[in-house]
Amino acid sequence: MSRVSLEGQVAVVTGAARGVGELLARKLSARGVKVALVGLEPDALKQVSARLHSESDHWYADVTDAEAMARVAGEVKERFGKVDIVVANAGVATGGPFIDSDPVAWRRVIEVNLIGSAVTARAFLPLLVESRGYLLQIASLAAITPAPMMTAYCASKSGVEAYAHSLRAEVGYRGVKVGVGYLSWTDTDMVRGADQDAVMRELRQRLPWPSNKTYPLGPAVDRIVAGIERRSSHVYGQWWLRGMQGVRGYLPALIGTVGQREMRRFAGRLDGMRIGLVGAGGNADEQHRTSTTVRE
């Protein structure tokens, strides 16, 4: 599929304060896209916006808050006149054995990654229908293959993948394209935060190649931008992820066997693992929820 120029289009990027969202905003801006940044870190969003090459603005909002996201959609339309692209990128993660997991953190991963993506789409789909635009839902390798000690994250990313595929069939006849973006372990604050736990780091390093590597952020985001230019149904941040689609039916049984062996290996080291949200984005989410509770 040929690429189209993004010059003059308006893109909304959630989770835009850092990582994939921040770099994607910069690369879209370099192509002449006007960018609306959405996230939970207003100071960081302001700094990102100030560095962009094109017209931009930023909004502090929790993607799980339907009222707030509806307000953001209205204000983005008022500010830029339209919305052509929405990238549902906001996400958090937690790791560790499910039996010892923090129920609040586990639920929050589902809320942000799955419910937050649906809230984002619900708020902006009317504008995408107007522009015959493109919605890109960021998923993960975790949507393709299960993994031990990542129950919440795998569940949420499998959920957004299925949701986006269903949505594609619903809105395609109205001119809206829907894509799913897949990323393996990519050098972001989230992955670095997970790697701070020795068990999670070593378990990941024992995965089969090429899934045991951390990949640089820049090339992955370049692939996402190319997918947006093509309005692709599937976007792969790493070259080998496309091939995983053909074997995904075999992976649960394989991971079930290999995963049990690895969990037995690490069984004596599981006590004391961090059970909250990981990385700077996870910290920002926890601070947001704490401040919201205090105000209430």
Number of alpha carbons in the 13 Å side-chain half-sphere of residue 103:
0
Q: 151-171 vs 116-131: helix axis angle to the nearest 10?
A: 20
pLDDT digits (tens, 9 = 90+) for 8-48: 999 999 999 999 999 999 999 999 999 999 999 999 999 99
H or E element at residue 34: strand 34-39
Residues known to be catalytic: 153
In whole numbers, what is the pLDDT of the chain averaged over residues?
91
How far, in Å, CA of 6 to CA of 134, rounded? 12
- pTM of this prediction? 0.93
H or E element at residue 119: helix 116-131
- Among 136, 137, 153, CA closest to 145: 153
What is the percent of the chain with per-residue pLDDT over 70, rounded to a whole number? Answer: 96
Q: What is the pLDDT of residue 254?
A: 86
